[in-house]
């Protein structure tokens, strides 16, 4: 219970963590998959670029199911 009260809990500042090796839209799609086990709708025109970015992310974070889904999309 102590983690909910105590020093620093009164602060309203938000810490930001930069993710410099991934485009924001790829990260957003990755988070969408983590929470829903599905990918958001991806425009046909950007599908290849998005899947390439996701494949880099799945290799880094060892997400085999998403890797299979990306393979099917290609």
Indicate whether this model's pTM tops 0.75.
no
Domain that holds residue 65: 18-73
Q: How many domains are there within the chain?
A: 1
Here the CATH number for the domain that contains residue 42 is 3.30.710.10
| Dihedral (Cα; 3, 15, 41, 69), 10-degree rounding | -70
Identify whether 6 is part of a domain: no
CA distance linking residue 71 with residue 52, whole number of Å: 10
pLDDT in tens, the chain (74 residues): 555 566 656 666 778 878 778 999 999 999 999 999 999 999 999 999 999 999 999 999 999 999 999 999 98
**Tokens of residue 1, six digits:** 């219970």
The pLDDT of residue 15 is 81
CA distance linking residue 10 with residue 38, whole number of Å: 36
Check if the beta carbon of residue 41 is closer than 8 Å to that of residue 16. no
The pLDDT of residue 6 is 60
Identify whether 60 is part of a domain: yes
**Tokens of residue 12, six digits:** 């309203």
């Amino acid at each position: 219970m102590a983690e909910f009260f105590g020093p620093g809990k009164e602060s309203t500042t938000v810490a930001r963590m930069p993710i410099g090796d991934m485009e924001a839209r790829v990260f957003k799609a990755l988070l969408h998959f983590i929470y829903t086990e599905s990918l958001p709708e991806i425009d046909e025109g950007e599908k290849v670029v998005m899947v390439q970015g996701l494949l880099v992310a799945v290799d880094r974070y060892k997400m085999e199911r998403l890797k299979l889904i990306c393979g099917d999309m290609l």
